[in-house]
């Protein structure tokens, strides 16, 4: 940090403040994680200096021989990790990966069927404020309002009625396992393409702790920075017959020069995920999520669908007379970072919401286990059950800092 501190102390100060915030608090945002020092080192490496438009063996610039090795390594490791036939690791984000699948398969104005944003879906699945909602006709399924889970019979009936050209499955706020085989069967019946967006659960899928879409669907997209614990970016896996179309959709269709320092960091991340210790890490993510959920439930907080099968849970705060925005801001004062989130039957705006989304990947990366989850659940309940009590919030913050100090983000020996 000395070079940055000497060159631009303002930016150095910002980074240091953020380091302290992460170190002294608890990150419970389900889409966030803590990368290894190896991933950090790669993202800040000399690989950022080079243009490498094109693909390995077919670049538009000279001097790319080592970049070819790095990208091939990332692609091969991703295919090995998931058992995929083809991988594209150039996508800058999960949204860009989804866009590439749409662009390679369906036409402007075609119909997409996807999960409602308010009930667990994602902006890039057809929200009217996203490119996906502006470029395509969109019909959306939700969860059953009694069970708060996907009803595949209802989804199949909608598909038969609407006859979409593309069905999107996967979610950003759904705490239950998704049946990708069921989606594949629905898509096949109505003659639609189907893409699984596993951005949130990719690590769990790779570890064999969630069923995989790879063998049952033609396309799978993901980010690399959530449960995969890698750099911020996206990736696409597909059947070999779609490989050329997907690669062309990314470059030159959507992007120019790839971010080779990020692609190399993706290779590092995939290599880490291929190690036996990674499966144990993912098992702990789920154990932690289920313990935290059980603690919150015992403290009188309502869990959407009654619990979780994966790395996240949703709290319905409506019976507490609280909004997600209130809860997010007050927990922030206590050193706990979460995000407000819409819930099924939502009545408030996405800027306010009736719920909270809580996840365990980042705190699991710090080494926390079930006993710590019980403490954290108690911290959250203490704040939310007496949200105006400034003294309690301040006391919880001290306890949060004490707990966080026992689990440094980066150990001195790393």
Catalytic center residues:
51, 53, 197, 223, 226, 232
- Residue 408 annotated as lining a ligand binding site: no
Distance between CA atoms of residues 264 and 260, nearest Å? 6
Asked if residues 265 and 277 have their Cβ atoms less than 8 Å apart, the reply is: no
Tokens in use for 72?
Answer: 């091939």
Burial of 362 (0-12, 13-18, 19+ CB in 10 A): buried
Residue 358, strand partner residues: 313
Dihedral of CA 405/407/413/414: which sign?
A: negative
Q: Do the annotations mark residue 261 as ligand-binding?
A: no
117 is in an annotated binding site: yes
Which residue in the block uniquely carries the two structure tokens 């109505």?
190
301 is in an annotated binding site: no
Residue 350 neighbours by CB distance under 10 Å: 14
Are 166 and 193 spatial neighbours (Cβ–Cβ below 8 Å)?
A: yes
150 is in an annotated binding site: no
Asked whether residue 180 is marked as a ligand-binding residue, the answer is no
Q: How far is residue 224's CA from residue 94's CA, in Å, rounded to a whole number?
A: 8
Q: Count the Cβ atoms, other than its own, within 10 Å of residue 7.
A: 9
- 258 annotated as a binding-site residue: no
Read off the tokens for 195. 């893409």
Asked if residue 15 lies in contact with residue 1, where contact means CB atoms within 8 angstroms, the answer is yes
**Which pair of tokens denotes residue 326?**
């209130």
State the binding site. Answer: 117, 121-123, 349-351
State the binding site for (6S)-5,6,7,8-tetrahydrofolate. Answer: 117, 121-123, 349-351
């Amino acid at each position: 940090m000395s070079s940055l501190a000497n060159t631009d102390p303002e930016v150095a100060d910002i980074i240091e403040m953020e380091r302290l915030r992460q170190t002294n608090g608890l990150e419970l945002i389900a889409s966030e994680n803590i990368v290894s020092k190896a991933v950090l080192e790669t993202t800040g490496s000399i690989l950022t200096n080079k243009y490498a438009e094109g693909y390995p063996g077919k670049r538009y610039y000279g001097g790319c021989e080592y970049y070819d090795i790095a990208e091939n390594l990332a692609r091969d490791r991703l295919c090995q990790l998931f058992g995929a036939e083809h991988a594209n690791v150039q996508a800058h984000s999960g949204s860009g990966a989804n866009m590439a699948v749409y662009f390679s398969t369906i036409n402007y104005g075609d119909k997409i069927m996807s999960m409602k944003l308010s009930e667990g879906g994602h902006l890039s699945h057809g929200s009217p404020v996203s490119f996906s909602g502006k470029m395509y006709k969109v019909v959306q399924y939700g969860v059953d309002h009694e069970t708060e889970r996907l009803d595949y019979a209802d989804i199949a009936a909608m598909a038969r009625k609407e006859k979409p050209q593309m069905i999107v499955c996967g979610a950003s706020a759904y705490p239950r396992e998704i049946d990708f085989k069921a989606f594949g069967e629905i898509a096949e019946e109505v003659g639609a393409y189907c893409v699984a967006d596993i951005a949130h659960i990719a690590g769990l899928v790779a570890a064999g702790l969630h069923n995989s879409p790879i063998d049952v669907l033609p396309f799978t997209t993901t980010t690399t920075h959530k449960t995969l614990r890698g750099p911020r970016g996206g990736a696409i896996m597909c059947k070999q017959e779609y490989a050329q179309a997907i690669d062309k959709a990314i470059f030159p269709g959507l992007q120019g020069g790839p971010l080779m320092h990020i692609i190399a960091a993706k290779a590092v991340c995939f290599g880490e995920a291929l190690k036996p210790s990674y499966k144990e890490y993912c098992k702990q993510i789920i154990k932690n999520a289920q313990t935290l959920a059980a603690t919150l439930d015992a403290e009188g907080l309502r869990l959407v669908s009654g619990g979780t099968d994966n790395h996240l849970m949703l709290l319905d705060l409506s019976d507490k007379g609280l909004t997600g925005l209130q809860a997010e801001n007050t927990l922030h004062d206590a050193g706990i970072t979460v995000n407000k989130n819409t819930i099924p039957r939502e009545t408030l705006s996405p800027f306010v919401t009736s719920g909270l989304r809580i996840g365990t990947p980042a705190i699991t990366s710090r080494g926390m286990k079930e006993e710590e989850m019980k403490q954290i659940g108690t911290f959250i309940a203490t704040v939310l059950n007496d949200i105006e009590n400034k003294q309690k919030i301040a006391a919880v913050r001290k306890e949060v800092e004490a707990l966080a100090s026992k689990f440094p983000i980066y150990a001195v020996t790393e």
